[in-house]
A and B are shown apart, each in its own frame.
Chain A
Amino acid sequence: MFETIGVLVVFFFLLVGGTTFYFKIQESAMQKELVRQAQLRSLQAAQRAMFLPELDCSFVSIQRENCFDRLKLKAFGSVSQSPKTAQSYFGQFGFATVIVREAYPSTDFIVTIYTSIPDEYGKVLLTQTPVLLYDPVTKDFGFGVMEVTTYAE
C-alpha cells in the first residue's frame, strides 16, 4: 500500500517537474520569437522609410540612395502630424515613431515624420541608421540619423 503511494508520489512529482520545465522553455522561446518579430518590423519600417518617394533626393529622376531632401522632410513633417495622414501610413509603419535628426554640421534640425503609439506596449525597440540630408538651396549634404522606434507587446 505504502509502496504504491510512494511510487505514485514520485511519478506525479516527475510529471509536474517535467511539465513545468517544458512550459518554461516554451515561454522563453515565445518571448524570444516576439522580440525577433518586433526587431524585424523595426528593420522593415526603417527600410520602408528610407525609400519613401515623398522624401527622396532625386536628381533628374535619379534617386540618390540613403538620402532625404530637407525641404521635403520639413513639409512632410508638418503634414504627417494630422491623424488622417498618420492613418494612411499605418499600413507601412504600424505602431512606430520615425524621427530624422541632423548630426552634422548642425544638431538643431529634427523632424518627426510618423508617429503612432499603442495604448499599451511592453518592449520598445530602436533602429538607427545614418542618412544624408540634402539641402536643395545650398546643394550641401548634411549627416543625419533616422531613428525608428517600434513598440512590441
Chain B
Amino acid sequence: MRNKRSQMEIMGLAIIIILISLGLLFAVQWMLKAPPTKPVQRAKESVLAANFLNTMLGTTTDCNKRTIRELLQDCALTGGVTKCDGQTSCTYVRSIIQKLFDETFKKWNMPYHIAMTGATPIEQLDFGTKPCPGEREQKTHPLPVRPGFEITITLEICR
C-alpha cells in the first residue's frame, strides 16, 4: 500500500517537472525568436527611396532652370562645363542634393547612403555618407547620359 502511494507521488512529481520543462521551453523559444520582419515598414522605406530619387532628379534648380537630372548628365559627360553661380555643375549639383538630404533624411534622423557610379566626375561627388553597416532598403536609378553611356544612382536607407 505504502509502496504504491510513493509511486503515485513520484508520478505526480514527474508530471509537474514535465509541465515546468514544457513551459520553460516555450518561454525560451518565444524569447529567442528573432523579431519578425516588418513588411509594412519595408514597403514604406522602399516607396520613400524610389520617390526620393524620382523627385530629386526632376527638381528644377536655379542654374539656368536645369533639373538635377540634366546637371548630373552634364557633370558626367563634361566634368562640369556648365557654370552655375560661379561653380561647376558638379559642385553645384552636389550642394543642391546635399540640401535636399538635409531637408529630408537628416531632419527625420534617418541614416542613408548615396552612391553614384558610371563616370569619374560623378563618382568624385562626396556626400559624406558611409555604406549602411547592416540591413538596408536600396533603390537604384539608372540615368542615361547618351546612348551606351549611363550613370547609376543608388540610395540606401539604413535600418
Question: Chain A interface (Cβ within 8 Å of chain B)?
Answer: 3, 7, 10-11, 14, 17-18, 21, 25, 36, 39-40, 42-43, 46-47, 65-67, 103-105, 107, 127-132, 140-145
Given contacts A25-B30, A140-B60, A142-B59, contact A103 B41 (CB under 8 A): no
Within the complex, the shortest CB–CB distance from A31 to chain B, in Å, comes to 14
Interface size classification for chain B: 20 to 34
Given contacts A39-B41, A105-B62, contact A131 B47 (CB under 8 A): no
Within the complex, the shortest CB–CB distance from B90 to chain A, in Å, comes to 18
A107 & B103 in contact (Cβ 8 Å cutoff): yes
A140 & B65 in contact (Cβ 8 Å cutoff): yes
For A140, give the chain B residue with the smallest CB separation. B60
8 Å CB contact of B23 from A17, A40, A67? A17
A10 & B16 in contact (Cβ 8 Å cutoff): yes
Within the complex, the shortest CB–CB distance from B105 to chain A, in Å, comes to 10
1/0 per position for B141-157, CB-CB distance to A under 8 A?
Answer: 00000000000000000
8 Å CB contact of B43 from A43, A65, A104? A43
Question: B20 near A: Cβ within 8 Å?
Answer: yes
Question: Chain B interface (Cβ within 8 Å of chain A)?
Answer: 9, 12, 16, 19-20, 23, 27, 30, 38, 40-41, 43-44, 47-48, 51-52, 54-56, 58-62, 65, 67, 96, 99-100, 103-104, 108
For B108, give the chain A residue with the smallest CB separation. A128
Given contacts A25-B30, A131-B55, contact A14 B20 (CB under 8 A): yes
B27 & A103 in contact (Cβ 8 Å cutoff): no
Within the complex, the shortest CB–CB distance from A106 to chain B, in Å, comes to 11
8 Å CB contact of A132 from B23, B59, B61, B62? B59
B40 & A36 in contact (Cβ 8 Å cutoff): yes
Within the complex, the shortest CB–CB distance from A28 to chain B, in Å, comes to 10
Given contacts A14-B23, A39-B40, A141-B67, contact A128 B104 (CB under 8 A): yes
14 new A-B contacts at CB < 8 Å, known A104-B59, A129-B48, A144-B55 = A14-B16, A14-B19, A21-B23, A21-B27, A36-B40, A40-B40, A43-B40, A43-B47, A66-B54, A104-B103, A105-B62, A128-B48, A142-B60, A143-B55
